[in-house]
Amino acid sequence: TPVILWFRKDLRLGDNRALVHAAATGRPVIPLYIHEPNNGPLGRAQCWWLHHSLVALGRSLERLGSRLILRSGPPQAVLSTLIAESGATEVLWNRRYDPDGIESDSVLKAALRGDGITAHSFSGQLLHEPSRMKTGTGGFYRVYTPFWRAFENSGEPEEPLQPPTAMPAPDVWPDTETLDDWRLLPTTPDWAAEFRNVWTPGEVGARRRLQDFVSGGLQGYAIRRDFPAEPHVSMLSPHLALGEISPAQIWHATRGLAGDVPVEDVTSFRKELVWREFSYHLLFHFPELPRRNFSEKFGGFPWRSDPDGLRRWQRGETGYPIVDAGMRQLWQTGWMHNRVRMIVASFLVKDLLIDWREGESWFRDTLVDADPASNAASWQWVSGSGADAAPFFRIFNPVSQGEKFDPEGAYVRKFVPELARLDTRYIHRPFEAPAAVLAKAGIDLGKTYPQPVVDHKMARERALAAFRGLAVSS
Ligand code: FAD
């Protein structure tokens, strides 16, 4: 009798425990992907990615003599139909750790078992299970550094598994829907047109990205990872988000490198991978992380309603070049450099005083790497409302951040082409440039590029006052 192998956020053959286990049963395997109603929790950018990733996964499975069956609907209903059609007696999957996923998987497991079907789940989305790290008193970590220490003390993450070389097929393949039926790709206007030039979704693209990074950008990572115009970050996050590569594969690829990569670069990179683990640890223990302030004190924060400010932020028309470059990089490529994510998030929350949940939701919809744990934890971190958060009163100045991390303005010039010819001295502060300098660069401030949506100095005082009010009233 066949085994159903249910793919979710693990769209890979390498280091895939459920898949290795399925192949090892020696029984026919039916690989399945279920498209949940309303795209499940996936935003529009990630739907684009998913489409291409499923194409790639289908091809890889074909090379093993197998196929990918596509079905849509609520998972429980889809699975029971497929079980009835195929006579399968076992369902295997890799665990996911977002609260909705945990909830629906445990309901499903109980229902399957109730029907006499074997249901098995495996690890692989994280380096260690999110419940594994415990404080001395048995609680969970709220601060990263002790979490990292506990992580270091808990042993090397397991070695990645090799994929099987073949997968037994059923005598008769069940029907499959087609990807085009699911309409995952954006229609007009095709705002994802540029994505194709930046990304190669799928396991092969992920592995290539990892190899390129390990042999290139990793060297210098510890310091240069903060400079958005430089190629010193891995850009592996979207591949990780849908599980085209496992964190263990990445971790082990940075082991035993020839002496030309300094150890501080490897450690610094691994520490970022562990921020992802820490985010899942927080989400696991505080499932409301995407919705509720971790710090209760922020419950009464006087957020402003500012639809115009929000729109300008989303479109990259705030008049602050580094913020606009980041938001346009996000729109054009589905991704944004981490340093710039921090700057734009701080700008939304502190300069515009707009609730971080608006930003979290925009990112969820437009990031190809949208991740329920990292996105929520990072927004709360920037806002000051999270666990181990940056203090609210530490407010990024978008001009000096730009000057420090994009000193020549190369990043701004790339994503805000209307400023491309502006003198470097003013590239992060066009609103202070003399008229002649602007004219020479072909800029008509207020027309070809916006005036600042808000005066940073005033906004800073306003944010501090709001925060002081909170501190007094709590
Ligand atoms: P690298 O620097 O090459 O790091 C390697 C990997 O480590 C990343 O792929 C990622 O998995 C992990 N990582 C790196 N930095 C962080 C971090 N600060 N927190 C958690 N994991 C990290 N990351 C997401 O994957 N999805 C999100 O939805 C997301 N939303 C964010 C929202 C805000 C407001 C901020 C400030 C950060 C957010 N991040 C998110 C974290 C971080 O910006 C990205 O993981 C990183 O920029 C991805 O690029 P990279 O793969 O080149 O990172």
In the residue annotation, 191 being an active-site residue is answered as no
Six token digits for residue 446: 């207020």
Residue 237 Cα, ligand 1 centroid: separation in angstroms? 6
Between the CA of 311 and the centroid of ligand 1 the distance, in Å, is 24
pLDDT band with cut points at 50, 70 and 90 for residue 39: confident
CA distance 153 to 143: 16
Q: Among 367, 22, 36, which residue's Cα sits nearest to residue 170?
A: 22
The pLDDT value recorded for residue 472 is 61
Average pLDDT value for residue range 103-109: 95
Instruction: Give the distance (Å) from ligand 1 centre to CA of residue 444.
Output: 36
The pLDDT-based confidence of 209 (bands split at 50, 70, 90) is very high
Q: Are 316 and 416 in contact (CB under 8 A)?
A: yes
Active-site annotation holder among 90, 379, 397, 418:
379
Confidence of residue 299 (pLDDT cuts 50, 70, 90): confident
Q: What pLDDT is recorded for position 186? A: 85
Average pLDDT over residues 140-153: 95
How far is residue 176's CA from residue 69's CA, in Å, rounded to a whole number?
5
The answer to whether 356 is a known catalytic residue is yes
Q: Looking at 275, 313, 335, 362, which residue is catalytic?
A: 275
Asked if 303 is an active-site residue, the reply is yes
For the cut 60, the answer to whether the pLDDT of residue 437 exceeds it is yes
Least reliable range by pLDDT among 7-11, 41-45, 224-228: 41-45
CA of 341 to the centre of ligand 1 (A): 9
Ligand 1 close to Cβ of residue 327 (< 6 A): no
What pLDDT shows up at residue 393?
84
* Three-state secondary-structure class, residue 259: coil
Does the beta carbon of 192 lie inside 6 Å of ligand 1? no
Residue 434: exposed, middle, or buried by beta-carbon count in 10 A (0-12, 13-18, 19+)?
exposed
Mean pLDDT within 141-165: 95
CB-CB contact of 169 with 29 (8 Å): yes
User: Count of H helices and E strands in the chain?
Assistant: 21, 5
pLDDT of residue 473: 57
Taking residues 5-16, report their average pLDDT.
98
User: Among all chains, which residue has been given the structure tokens 């916006």?
Assistant: 450
Average pLDDT, the chain: 95
Which residue owns the Cα nearest ligand 1 atom 34?
379
Q: In angstroms, what is the span from residue 426 Cα to ligand 1's centroid?
A: 30
Q: Ligand 1 within 6 A of 370 CB?
A: yes
3-state class (DSSP) for residue 7: strand
| CB of 245 sitting under 6 A from ligand 1 | no
- The whole-number pLDDT of residue 193 equals 87
Residue 191's pLDDT is what? Answer: 83
Full set of structural domains in the chain with CATH: 3-125 (3.40.50.620), 127-157+201-285 (1.25.40.80), 296-473 (1.10.579.10)
Mean pLDDT of 85-114: 96
Residue 241 CA to residue 372 CA, distance in Å, equals 9
- Cβ proximity of 130 and 54 under 8 Å: no
Interval 246-266: pLDDT, tens: 999 999 999 988 677 999 999
Asked if residue 406 lies in contact with residue 412, where contact means CB atoms within 8 angstroms, the answer is yes
Q: What is the pLDDT of residue 317?
A: 98
Position in ligand 1 atom list of the atom nearest CA 341:
36
Taking the C-alpha atoms of residue 247 and residue 241, their distance in angstroms, rounded to an integer, is 10
The neighbour count for residue 180, using CB atoms within 10 Å, is 9
Span 115-132, pLDDT tens digits: 999 999 999 999 999 999
pLDDT single digits (tens) 358-412: 999 999 999 999 999 999 999 999 999 888 777 888 899 999 999 999 999 999 9
Of 98-112, 217-231, 346-360, 381-395, which range is least confident?
381-395
Q: Where are the alpha helices (DSSP H) in 195-262?
A: 195-198, 203-215, 221-224, 237-241, 247-253
Q: What share of the chain is helix, strand, coil (3-state, %, to 5)?
A: 50, 5, 45
* Spatial distance between the Cα atoms of 13 and 130, rounded to a whole number of angstroms: 23
Q: Enter the tokens of residue 110.
A: 């109980």
pTM score, two decimals?
Answer: 0.97
